[in-house]
Structure 1
Amino acid sequence: MRNKVISDLGNGFKYHELVEFYCTKQDLSTFDPYDIWKTGLGVYVKDWFNRSKLLAGGPALAMTLYDHLLNNGLRLGYSKQEYPIVRALAAQVLLNTYNSSKNDKYLISAREHLDWLVENSSKGYSGYCWGLGFKWAVYKGVIYDSNTPHSTHTPYALEAFDMYKEITNESRYDHVIISCFEFYENDLKILCEDKDSMAISYGPFKDRPISNAVSYTLYAYSIFLKYFPEKGEYLNAKIQKFYNFIKKKQLDNGAWFYAPLESNSFIDCFHSCIILKNVFKAQRNLGCLQDSDLIIQSGYEYLKNHFFEEKIGLFKRFSKTNKLSLIKFDLYDNAEVLALSKLLVDNDVAESLQDRIFEVFVKSDKEIFSAINILGNPINKNTLRWAVMPFLYSLST
């Protein structure tokens, strides 16, 4: 699969042309599907909706319809911006491409993105860390500001710095990784813990346990273990507790609720993929993670059985939802399944899904759409955070 991806993607598309168009620019500012919710009115309505779906449902729906149907191409009132996760994923794509091609231009470009991340870390914390990069009304009573770092976003940068070390054997960014450990240790909060398991916060305060946040932290600590061998016993104990939380919260059918301690949570595709990817990559770093193969197999079977729309050839957004959505299919979900299927060497799924993604979401080598709405129309053109970069990352692996 990898040789096919690196040389020729089919359908007239060339892998290196896509990478160079989207990943090698010095300015990666981009529009985003969340643009309307980043406006002052958007933050207000989203926060209101989180507090009262009944009262705010109408205004939230009106804004969604305006964004999807009237303003999606024009983007009036929206501004492009840089996102740490875009830089981190671009760096990872370029590092993977350099690793397969040995063309120095990809390494040089990756280093530019890594340097950007060093300069644009969240400020005021114990170590290097990164977040969404915009103000976000995330759930009832909680609004993250644009500087807030997250346990779900920091690992993308951390992984990119670690990849650079693995590929080049240079210690150029070791200080960033070591500093990042201080953020995890000092700024993130333990939300629940018993003798066997632990859940850590999403942001730098006591918010709520999120399944994928714990899985990201599991993976992050498996990276830290390489840089702090003297802390092996301590780190392994925490890793085991994070892993046990994930094991405990996996349902009998293989699924995870997004917020496993809440009564009205949802089960969605791309977060499910992220949990499985993080468990797989943590196991790969550690060499052994008890029963991880069974957990991954069960979760992967759930994905294929509950999200895949056979007639369409794509994976849908939710198997259990708690709100209305105007999105029929999302590139993010399918990009994450593609990356996961390649990790698990499921070539049948990877090859058929990759071809279908190109047919549905990619209109030219300079036009990638991130969603198909309920009317069957492609929307959110070239929005890098969600989800051009996750898609390009899946192609690069």
Structure 2
Amino acid sequence: MNNIRHLLGLLNMCKSAGYSGNCWGYNFDWQSRAFYVPQYTPTIVNSGFIGHALLDAFQFTGDQKALDLAVPIKDFLLKDLHRTKDGDTFCFSYTPIDNTAVHNANLLGASLLIRLYKITGEQRLRDVALSSLAYSMKHQHDDGSWYYAETAMQSWIDSFHTGFNLQAIRWFLQLGEATEFQAAFERGVDFYAGHFFLEDGTPKYYHNKVYPIDIHSPAQAIVFFSGEGDAYQELTDRILNWTLKEMYDPHKGLFYFRKGRYMTNKIPYMRWGQAWAFHALTEYLLFRNTGGRLHAPQ
């Protein structure tokens, strides 16, 4: 508990200043394929993942500090991000300084809002979350897949972003919301399970290309399929066993960044590699040992 409170204090200190609500960005400049982001610019991805973790911490421990940090994230999402409209639906922007329509980012924000709605009872959070969700569901392909984003330069289909999409949609369904998308969710799960993994558990980066294998690919797969229960236990175990064999150094206790066809990049990035692998192992053990009971919705 003391460790959790220490981490909550660090998160509070690291918030991006000057925005409508609590939000977070990276402490370095970075360049995506579509736009440049200066250091400390908050993103829906950083803020969304942190928000979900804060709600989990509140759920597990009852610590009010976690909830107090999580709730104001809604103001950042609602007031500071741009929206790409499509009829009566819309897609959140990635940051306050871009206008891209990235599905995993949009769905991450929407899923956080629906969790916050269940806690606060604030109706507008539900309305916005459902409209944001509907945008990405409108752009789901008939086979259950999504492009990474709705621009020509970002029209690829990859493993871990597909997993992020599905995990966000699962929050809605677990909370009894947007049940009209249950069949679409199941098509997405079928596509994910059927197109991104080889027989030995090797996780492909793209639906039609194996390399480079990024640590995010097996990590997110383990997180997601652990939560899908017994039906995907065998697949989850295959992915986990492959990961421990091919991307883990048991002597140094770290996970590698990326594996190519002929060489492996063993740089132990803390956030990109170690944190996600730790998250994967935690979720795997949680669902294996408890059946996910600790993850029951609020």
TM-score by length of 1: 0.66
- Residue ranges of structure 2 left out of the alignment (5+ in a row): 284-298
Kindly tell me: are residues 179 and 339 of structure 1, through their superposed partners in 2, closer, same or farther at Cα, counting changes over 3 Å?
same
Match of 2:31 in 1: 137
Does 1 or 2 have the higher relative contact order (CA < 8 Å, sep 6+)? 1
Asked if residue 268 in structure 1 is aligned to residue 158 in structure 2, the reply is: yes
Aligned equivalents of 1:332, 1:157: Cα separation in 2: 17
Asked if residue 317 in structure 1 is aligned to residue 201 in structure 2, the reply is: no
* 1:280–1:292 contact (8 Å) kept in structure 2: no
Asked if residue 124 in structure 1 is aligned to residue 49 in structure 2, the reply is: no
Deviation at 1:167, TM superposition (A): 1.4
Question: One-letter code of the match for 1:250?
Answer: Q
Question: One-letter code of the match for 1:317?
Answer: Y
Match of 1:295 in 2: 184
Match of 2:259 in 1: 372
Match of 2:100 in 1: 208
Aligned equivalents of 2:239, 2:66: Cα separation in 1: 35
In the TM superposition, 1:14-93 aligns within 5 A as none
Match of 2:245 in 1: 359
Q: CA RMSD in A?
A: 2.0
Aligned equivalents of 2:212, 2:53: Cα separation in 1: 32
What do residues 295-352 of structure 1 show as CA deviations (whole Å, max 9, x unaligned)? 2221122122222122x4211111268xxx9x53222101111111111111111112
Aligned equivalents of 1:119, 1:339: Cα separation in 2: 28
Deviation at 1:245, TM superposition (A): 1.0
Question: One-letter code of the match for 2:136?
Answer: I
* 2:254–2:274 contact (8 Å) kept in structure 1: no
Match of 2:292 in 1: none
3-state SS in 1 of match to 2:212: strand
For these two proteins, the number of residue pairs brought into alignment is 280
* 1:342–1:350 contact (8 Å) kept in structure 2: yes
Asked if residue 248 in structure 1 is aligned to residue 138 in structure 2, the reply is: yes
Aligned equivalents of 1:277, 1:392: Cα separation in 2: 17
Match of 2:76 in 1: 183
Q: Percent identical across equivalent pairs?
A: 19
Deviation at 1:240, TM superposition (A): 1.6
Flag the structure with larger Rg: 1
Aligned equivalents of 2:38, 2:68: Cα separation in 1: 26
Asked if residue 348 in structure 1 is aligned to residue 231 in structure 2, the reply is: no
3-state SS in 2 of match to 1:131: coil
Aligned equivalents of 1:138, 1:152: Cα separation in 2: 13
Deviation at 1:206, TM superposition (A): 4.0
3-state SS in 1 of match to 2:265: strand
- Residue ranges of structure 1 left out of the alignment (5+ in a row): 1-106
Further displaced range: 238-247 or 174-183? 174-183
Deviation at 1:235, TM superposition (A): 2.0
Deviation at 1:182, TM superposition (A): 1.4
Aligned equivalents of 2:13, 2:173: Cα separation in 1: 31
3-state SS in 1 of match to 2:178: coil
* 2:24–2:41 contact (8 Å) kept in structure 1: yes
What do residues 246-304 of structure 1 show as CA deviations (whole Å, max 9, x unaligned)? 211110111100112436521111000000011112322x3232233322221122122
